[in-house]
Amino acid sequence: MSDTIALTESERGAGIVRCDACPVLCRIRPDRAGACDRYANEGGKLVRVDPLVLLAKPDVARVAFAEGGAAWQGGLGRKLLREGERAFVTGIGATTTYPDYKPAPFIVSSRHDGVDMVTVVTEGIFSYCGVKVKIDTDRYLGPEQAAVRAKGEAVGHVTTAEYGSQMLSLGGVHHLTGGSKKEGVATCDALLALCNREAVELSIDGGSTVIVQAAKPPIVNGVAEERMRVGCGSAAIGMFAPQWHGHVDEVIVVDDHITGVLSEHQGGAFLDMKPAGIRVRGRRSTPGRYFQVAEPGLGWGGTNVGDPLEIIDRIDPKQAWPGLRLLMVSTTGEHSAWFELDDGLKPRPAPMPPAVRLVVERIAENCEPALCTVLFMAGAGGSLRAGVTENPVRLTRSVRDALTKVTLGGVPAYVWPGGGITLMVDVARMPENSFGYVPTPALVAPIEFTLRADDYAALGGYTARAISLEDAIAHAGHVRVDEDER
C-alpha cells in the first residue's frame, strides 16, 4: 500500500477506515459515511449502507427492511429457498470491483431447469455513461444541437426528433469530466436523479424549460403534456377521412412536420371529394401534404400558431363556395375549430356539428398518454469485465454470442452491436434507487452477467469463488427483497 492511501497511526487510532470502493479513497470517521453516502464506518468496519437487493416472484410480499443500522441474517432469503421460490441477486448494494483486479463481490451459483448457472453480480462505476430521454410532445423544446442545461450548466444537447417525440442526449464523458468541475457535478446530479426516477428541470438554449421524470408526463414551460399525437397531419387525414366524409367539405390537420389537407390528399381522392380551393402556406410535398406551414412552437400541432387561419395562404374563388364547411384540428385533437365560408368566401366561426365533434374526440382518444422515457446508456469497460474473468475479452465475446445475458438490477439490457459492451436499459423498469454515484464524478449502477456454469469456466471466470444464494444472503448482512413485476 502506497503512502498516498495508507492511514497514519493517528488516523487508525481515531478509528478511521479507508474506503477503496472508488478512486476517491475516502477516509471515513466512525459512524460517518463517505462522500458517496454508500459506504460508512460502522464500529471501525467499512460497510455498505444500502441493502443487497433480491428480486422475488410477484406472489412474494414486498419487503424492505434493515435499511438503517441493524443487520439482517437472511431469514427471508432462507424462507424463499425453503418454499421453492426463485430469487435473483441484483447488483444493487453489492459493492464494486474497484480497484479493478478484484473479482466481483458476488458470484452466485444456481440451478435452472436442470442446468447449472452462474450470475456474476457487481456495481459498476461508469464514467462513460449518460441517458437518452424521449419526451412525448409536439411542443417545441428547442433547436437540434442546442445545449440542454441543468442548474445553468450544459449537461447534454437536443438530438433528432422522432415520431411524436422530442429527444435529448444527456451526460457522457465530456460533460462529466471534460468541462469544469461545476459542469461535471451538475451533470452527475442530473443523471443520478433521472436514473432514480426523480423529476429534473432542464432548460434548452433558444427553447423551452421542461421538467422530465421517467414514466411521468413532461411539463413544458409549466404546462403538463397530456397526449402524444396519433400521427402527423397527413396520417390523421388517412386514418379519419371516411369518418369525416359527408360531414365536411375540407379538413386541415395542422402539424409542424406534415400538415394534411383532406380534399387534396389521396384519402379525399378515394372518397371522390371535390377540391375546396383552400391553399395553405408552406412547401407542398405530395398531394395534400405540406411542410413548414409555420415556425415550431407551443401552439397548434407543435407550431407557433394560435389562430389556425394564419396558415391559410388563399382561397380560390373558382373552386371554393359560400357555405363551405371547414374543420381545422391539431394532431392531438387538443385544438379544433369549425368554420363556414360566407358570401365573400371568408371563414366564419360556427358551432361544430356533433358528428364532426365526435371524430375530433376520437383523434384525442387515439392519442397515447404523453410520458418521459429515460434510458440509461453506458459502456462496461475492461476494468469492470476484469471482475468477471481474468481474460475480459472473452466476456465480451460471450455476450456477443448470446451465451451471457446482461441485466441491470434484474432488467434485461439492450447491448449494442460492435465492439465492447455498450448497453441501454429503461430505468422505469428497475427497482427504486438502483443508482448511486461517486464524486469522481461518475454514476454507479448495478450490473449482472448470467450464463451457464460450464460457459463461465470456459471464459476463465472465478469459478472457485462461486457461492450459493443462501451464502450470498448471509454474506451481505442486510437485504431487501423486491417483487419482480416484469
* Residues 405-412, mean pLDDT to the nearest whole number: 95
Across the chain, what does the average pLDDT equal? Answer: 88
Q: Which residues pair with 327 in a beta bridge?
A: 251, 338
* CA–CA dist 159, 214 (Å, integer): 18
Flag whether pLDDT at 435 surpasses 90: yes
Flag whether pLDDT at 382 surpasses 80: no
> Which pLDDT band, with edges at 50, 70 and 90, does 100 fall under?
low
* Residues 262-278, mean pLDDT to the nearest whole number: 95
pLDDT recorded at residue 101: 66
Flag whether pLDDT at 155 surpasses 50: yes
> Which pLDDT band, with edges at 50, 70 and 90, does 318 fall under?
very high
**Tens digits of per-residue pLDDT, 162-188?**
888 999 999 999 999 999 999 999 999
**The cell 477506515 sits on which residue?**
17
- Asked whether the beta carbons of 222 and 378 are under 8 A apart, the reply is no
* Residues 219-228, mean pLDDT to the nearest whole number: 94
* 216 half-sphere exposure, CB direction, 13 A CA radius: 15
234 alpha carbon, distance to own chain's centre:
29
Flag whether pLDDT at 82 surpasses 50: no
* CA–CA dist 24, 419 (Å, integer): 29
* CA–CA dist 419, 404 (Å, integer): 16
Flag whether pLDDT at 221 surpasses 60: yes
Least confident of 122-131, 324-333, 464-473: 464-473
* CA–CA dist 482, 120 (Å, integer): 19
Flag whether pLDDT at 236 surpasses 80: yes
pLDDT recorded at residue 60: 30
Least confident of 87-101, 185-199, 232-246, 418-432: 87-101
Query: β-strands 115-126, 442-452: how paired?
Result: antiparallel
pLDDT recorded at residue 280: 97
**Tens digits of per-residue pLDDT, 33-75?**
888 777 788 888 877 777 888 887 533 323 222 233 333 334 4
> Which pLDDT band, with edges at 50, 70 and 90, does 111 fall under?
confident
pLDDT recorded at residue 65: 27
- Mention every residue, 6+ apart, whose C-beta is less than 8 A from residue 111: 117
> Which pLDDT band, with edges at 50, 70 and 90, does 473 fall under?
confident
Write out the three cell numbers for 15.
Answer: 478509528
pLDDT recorded at residue 289: 97
